[in-house]
Amino acid sequence: MERIPFLKMTGSGNDFILIDNRTGLVPLEGCKDFVKAVCRRKLSAGADGVILIENDAECDFAWRFYNADGSEAEMCGNGARCAARFAHLRGIVSRPSMIFRTLAGKIQAHVDGLRVRVQMTPPHGYRPNLNVVIEDQTLRVHAINTGVPHVVLFADSPKTLSQWDVFAVGRSLRYHSLFAPAGTNVNFVAVLGPSQLKIRTYERGVEDETLACGTGSIAAALIAAAQGLVQPPVHVETQSGETLVIHFHQTEEAFDEVFLEGDARVVYEGLLWSETLGSVREKQDR
Ligand SMILES: N[C@@H](CCC[C@H](N)C(=O)O)C(=O)O
């Protein structure tokens, strides 16, 4: 394999490896192993996911988004913000406004320096007030699909939120039969004010708590609004300490005009060497 140029970017603590794949440097078939290898922290560049920028006949570009475990996801809000800034920085799209294709649908984005705002596809599959039994406790959760599936649980206070065992509870809900076969991302949320939330997210495909999740923050804002707890625009404080802003219109039947806004930063640029990928693969195979 040749050396592959990439940018490492972070969307509020959700980190990604972005590759301009318009010439097919990374073959899409069988790229699960490649993704798993490059996302392994300490053994490679390490990231929550990989974004491949591809050609598209109709949009400015298309993307393929992969979680760290190699699974492909329909959407990623923080990744979408990084992809838009990457496309602008790399001259793939010279205009600050662009449209790109994802498996969830077309995404419009606007880049203003570090700040990127993306318009999301319409949320669907809202299932409020589900009582879910895990081990000896019954949890009240609310489900929604904001491009990928999410559930939201509300904590009584920021202190309760900080004490929650996000890994254990998140993992139990992620694999709960109620959300099978796709599984779900799991968001733990505290209300801080009339337009302010704090969030912790267990991410499907990373299989751990991440420092931020864009579609999860949107799910939290929409569900909190539906429950009468907040009003837009909603500021969501993530585990990285950075804040995401969620804009939307709420009607009696639906939410529309849903936007996610926040910073998308470049951490470094580099070349992936195949020797690293090879050694990681050998270790995984053992
Ligand atoms: N972190 C992302 C969501 C990425 C996809 C997710 N892990 C899944 O597989 O559903 C975001 O910022 O939205």
How do the domains of the chain map onto residue ranges?
A: 4-114+265-285, 124-263
Is 59 an annotated catalytic residue? no
CA-203 nearest atom, ligand 1: 7
Residue 270, token pair as written in the block:
């580099």
Cα 197 to ligand 1 centre (Å): 19
Name all residues whose Cβ lies below 6 A of ligand 1: 14, 67, 73, 76-79, 148, 185, 203-206, 213-215
Average pLDDT, the chain: 95
Residue 90 has what DSSP assignment? Answer: T
ipTM: 0.97
CATH superfamily of the 4-114+265-285 domain: Diaminopimelate Epimerase; Chain A, domain 1 (3.10.310.10)
Tally the C-alpha atoms within 13 A of residue 217's C-alpha that lie toward its C-beta.
38
For 28-85, what is each residue's pLDDT tens digit? Answer: 998 999 999 999 999 999 999 999 999 999 999 999 999 999 999 999 999 999 999 9
Cα–Cα distance between 161 and 164 in angstroms, integer?
5
pTM over 0.80: yes
Whether 106 shows a pLDDT value over 80: the answer reads yes
Instruction: Judge if 4-114+265-285 and 124-263 fold alike in CATH terms.
Output: yes
Q: Are 35 and 63 in contact (CB under 8 A)?
A: no
Residue 2, token pair as written in the block:
């040749």
What's the confidence (pLDDT) of residue 281?
46
Q: Does residue 149 come out as left (phi exceeding 0), alpha (psi in the -120 to 50 range) or beta?
A: beta
Q: In the CATH scheme, what is the code of domain 124-263?
A: 3.10.310.10
What's the confidence (pLDDT) of residue 279?
45
What's the confidence (pLDDT) of residue 274?
80
Question: Best of 48, 63, 67, 215 to mutate for ligand 1, by most ligand atoms within 8 A of CB?
Answer: 215
Dihedral sign for Cα 140, 229, 170, 176, please: positive
Cα 102 to ligand 1 centre (Å): 13
Instruction: Please give the annotated binding residues for substrate, written as ranges.
Output: 14, 67, 77-78, 185, 203-204, 214-215
Is 39 an annotated catalytic residue? no
Q: Are 144 and 125 in contact (CB under 8 A)?
A: yes
